[in-house]
Amino acid sequence: MHELFVTERARQAHPELVAAAQEHGARISPVTEQAAAGLSETVTPQGIIAVCDLLDRPLAGLLAPGAGLVAVLVDVADPGNAGTVIRVADAAGADALILAGDSVDPHNGKCVRASAGSLFHLPIARSRDVGAVLQECRAAGLRVLAAHGHAETELDSLDLTAPTAWLFGNEAHGLPAAILRDADTAVRIPIYGAAESLNLATAAAVCLYTGAMARRRSSGG
């Protein structure tokens, strides 16, 4: 954190936050309520705005040896969806999340809020080159599974105890055909009711948690 803009109201409401920022070397800049509203993206700003370093890391070296569960978002455009998947991946114990292709910036305000703090817990990288992302996953010993609503292989038919990278595609178009061909297996979540499909964040939650629970059962964790 480099600088903290804070209104008098926020300083009185959260003195411990201001003190902690100051202790860590951030410059504290008083601002008016009007200025805070101009700096914030929310309708009702809290009166505290921080200027911080970006959180994403380089793709190279992101995946530590022994990584068992990784989420990859490919061309995901909606920041709310991306933030929710970051939150889900964190909750499922994923080792990292990668935003590939033309995916949204994880520092987008809506994405940050949707992640509910998980953006600060999970190693995250961005790369325009989807092929490089898959190569990095395979180099780390991960099997690549692609979530696809029309795949022949159903989720509940797979052994998910092996280290896995899950690919999730664009909200409207899914994963590109070339990416589906490059994946080790395309996987469909079975739908038992009358719903036509699942949205991106829900599908990611089902896949990531199914894999996480399978690995925990196999390891006795």
- Domain spans in the chain, listed from the N-terminal domain onward: 3-51, 69-219
pLDDT category at 64 given cuts 50, 70, 90 is: confident
Whole-number Å distance between alpha carbons of 214 and 211: 5
Does the structure show a pLDDT above 70 at 33? yes
> Going by DSSP bridges, is the β-strand pair 96-100/143-147 parallel, antiparallel, or unpaired?
unpaired
Q: What is the CATH number of domain 69-219?
A: 3.40.1280.10
Q: What is the pLDDT of residue 44?
A: 80
The pLDDT value given to residue 206: 97
pLDDT of 40 strictly over 90: no
pLDDT of residue 41: 81
Q: Is 80 exceeded by the pLDDT of residue 57? A: yes
Q: Note the pLDDT of residue 46.
A: 87
How large is the average pLDDT for residues 34-46?
86
The set of residues, in sequence order, having a beta carbon less than 8 Å from that of 158 and lying 6+ positions away, is 145, 185, 187
CB 218 within 8 A of CB 103: no
Residue 72 tokens, joined: 């990859």
Residue 75 is predicted with a pLDDT of 96
Average pLDDT, the chain: 94
Q: Is residue 149 scored above 70 in pLDDT?
A: yes
Q: How confident is the model at residue 94 (pLDDT cuts 50, 70, 90)?
A: very high
Maximum CA extent, the chain: 59
What six digits make up the tokens of 145? 């599974």
Helix (H, G, I), strand (E, B) or coil at 78: coil
Kindly tell me if the per-residue pLDDT of 221 is higher than 70.
no
* Residue 141 pLDDT grade (very low, low, confident, very high; cuts 50, 70, 90): very high
